[in-house]
Structure 1
Amino acid sequence: MDVGIAATGVFFPPHVETAKDLVEKTGIPEEIIIEKFGLIQKHVSDSSMHASDLAAQAAKSIVEKTGAPAIDVLIYFGSPYKEYPVWSCATKIQYELGLENAFVFEIMNVSSCFPIALKVAKDMLVSDRSIGNILLVGGCKESDVIDYKNTRSRFMFNFADGGAAALVQRGTAKSRILGSSIITDGSFYDDVKVPAGGSVMPASIQTVQERLHFLDVKDPQGMKKRLDPLSVPNFVKVVKTAVEKSGYSLSDIDYLFPLHTKRSMFFELLEQLGLKEEQAVYLDRYGHMSALDPCVGLHLAERQGLVKKGDLLVTVSAGTGYTWAATVIEWGG
């Protein structure tokens, strides 16, 4: 049964922080931010916009074109950092978009979640004929949870804000969602987290004073030592497995939509997959937006006319914890 992405949407808050702005915040030289972090600029929202608002803005054009009554399910796949700590923003998004016929839920696996959300949506449409249209929505305001004075969290200084959405539909001629592959190594569960605000360390005056409500890395060197031998090989493995489950091989890939990483990892991944730089979208003008990156990359590539009928596309991402995920799409034009 053919299930594919029928439309995508994105939204970026108007305020932009450049590499030069980050020099003032971090003390890191501008050339390192651009060349090593791979960041020319990124969008950052003000206090008036939250993850749910960014997600809803990204989905508006899709809802206007499809019609609110046609949306059967809304799935939030974006950042876990939202307006409130114990709260579903999917219900707010459903209400604000007027999707009265849609039931909603959230899936969260930090930055790895878009390829997983595609698989979940496809599997739901295949298994349940009463569902015709699933709207995937994600928002990210993770620039809020970065402490630029904490060098342990240095690899997350590229975190940015935005919204992304994708309409997954049965029988669309636009594309076909094919195979997926997911790897999780739970030994990294304690490496990256916001220490305070949960049941282990409830919020207090002390946790605020000690700046424990920002993302932190428990042992950067220890994590790097364990993660470096695994990261790119696991990226390659999920891509290879997803492509082969789809009936293709790595040499058939036309375009890759990865999460935003440091530039050296991006090029290493391309080399391992046998791809050229022009066969991937690198978000150096947008930064890393949690799970949104592959969806944003796909949207930008389509708008720029980079993908064509018959192309084999791969969305791939990874999230702390640690999970790697890839989903293959055959583009219909």
Structure 2
Amino acid sequence: MGGIVDFEVVLPSSTVEVEELHAASGVPVADILAITHTASFPALDEDEPAWELAATAGRTVLERTGVDPDAIGLVVYAGSGEWDLPFWSPAAKVADELGIGNAHCYEVTNFCNGAMTAIRTALAELALNGGQYALVLIGDRLSRLVDHEDAESKHLFNFGDAPAAVLLGREGTLLDVLASAARTDPSWADYYSGDVEDDRVLMRRRGRRPGLGDAYLENFPARVHDVLDTLDRRIDDVDWFLVNQGDKGMHEKLLAKLGIPAGKSVFNYHRYGHMGGSDPFLALRDLIGEDRLTPGDLVLVASSGMGFSWGVTALEYRGR
């Protein structure tokens, strides 16, 4: 099937500061820290386009691997669908910036599950058409979609930004993609939606329907077992379990329900906010950089997105 040849994450030049969130919203600092777990985290500057950082990540990956831009047959830009410009293709823009002229360019919208969905889609297309490489770009602008003046939006105050690029190929992989499973519970479709205010799109939670936490604890384990059953593996075979860094408490509950020790996961809450689809790649970057992965390690990546969708993808580390 192929997998991840290389990837890069680029952090923006600005940050969100908890003290600033407190001043804007009136929410006590302690209450905000209970959500963010850090006093500041990376976020796009007001005039910093996400696509430019995604292009920087893509350029770094192509230069590091020596892959010719003409060998890229697919460029997919993943995220929430709220790009730097409306009615516009950031995938095509980045392709043009990188000199990729022979690719099909398009976008995948599945919110924070978008990156892993795009990887699944791109690998399937490579297998279908016999292509050699695909480039998946992660370029959300989550911090710009949160109303920091609204105390009712405090549960979103940890949303930051970290554009990334993931080079996929059929050979020479760093991480093989072994299996993947995903499901959407459409009954949550209207739990969040956006409002346009002062030329900005802002996320709003619609009401206080209970049960989303239970849905996470039902759907993630079910997808984990779907993937492990496909591979004829067991929970004890999982070497690393990575999850979106949206809610530390949920992360801990999920590990407990699955029976996976916390030492087999990565907790970056003290360093970053919730970086959308880039969360697992920040974790992988640390694991690889610190030589904590061994060839043959089974890594499960659990990602979720509004809508609500839950996905689990199994990777096998092959080493550089």
State the match for 1:324 in structure 2.
Answer: 310
State the match for 2:221 in structure 1.
Answer: 236
State the match for 1:200 in structure 2.
Answer: none
State the match for 1:100 in structure 2.
Answer: 101
Check whether the contact 1:184–1:322 (CA below 8 A) recurs between aligned residues.
yes
Distance 1:34 1:314 in 2: 28
TM-score relative to the length of structure 1: 0.88
Distance 1:81 1:293 in 2: 18
**What residue ranges of structure 1 are gaps of 5+ in the alignment?**
197-206
- Displacement of 1:97 in angstroms is 1.1
Aligned residues with identical type, % of pairs: 27
Cα offsets for 1:105-162 (capped at 9, x unmatched): 1111111112222211221222221x00111111122211211222332221111112
Check whether the contact 1:42–1:160 (CA below 8 A) recurs between aligned residues.
yes
Check whether the contact 1:5–1:169 (CA below 8 A) recurs between aligned residues.
yes
**What residue ranges of structure 2 are gaps of 5+ in the alignment?**
none
Check whether the contact 1:114–1:295 (CA below 8 A) recurs between aligned residues.
no
- Displacement of 1:173 in angstroms is 4.4
State the match for 1:204 in structure 2.
Answer: none
State the match for 1:113 in structure 2.
Answer: 114
Check whether the contact 1:183–1:323 (CA below 8 A) recurs between aligned residues.
yes
Distance 1:64 1:236 in 2: 38
Check whether the contact 2:9–2:278 (CA below 8 A) recurs between aligned residues.
no
Cα offsets for 1:253-282 (capped at 9, x unmatched): 111221112221111111112222232222
Is 1:259–2:259 an aligned residue pair? Answer: no
- Displacement of 1:212 in angstroms is 7.8
- Displacement of 1:36 in angstroms is 4.2
Check whether the contact 1:72–1:132 (CA below 8 A) recurs between aligned residues.
yes
Distance 1:150 1:173, change over 3 A: closer
Check whether the contact 2:159–2:275 (CA below 8 A) recurs between aligned residues.
yes
- Displacement of 1:60 in angstroms is 1.6
- Displacement of 1:11 in angstroms is 0.2
- Displacement of 1:195 in angstroms is 2.5
Is 1:315–2:314 an aligned residue pair? Answer: no
Cα offsets for 1:64-101 (capped at 9, x unmatched): 13232222211111332212222111110101111122
Cα offsets for 1:165-193 (capped at 9, x unmatched): 11111022422101111111111111111
CA RMSD for the aligned pairs?
2.0
How many corresponding residue pairs? 316
- 274, 291, 295: which one aligns with 1:288: 274
Amino acid at match of 2:137: V
Is 1:298–2:284 an aligned residue pair? Answer: yes
Distance 1:115 1:240, change over 3 A: farther
Kindly report which structure 2 residues correspond to 1:1-333, keeping only aligned pairs within 5 A, or say none.
Answer: 2-65=1-64, 66-129=67-130, 131-196=131-196, 207-208=197-198, 213-219=201-207, 221-222=208-209, 225-284=210-269, 285-333=271-319
Check whether the contact 1:164–1:296 (CA below 8 A) recurs between aligned residues.
no
TM-score relative to the length of structure 2: 0.92
* SS of corresponding position for 1:162: coil
Check whether the contact 1:254–1:313 (CA below 8 A) recurs between aligned residues.
yes
Distance 1:26 1:250 in 2: 43
- Displacement of 1:21 in angstroms is 3.8
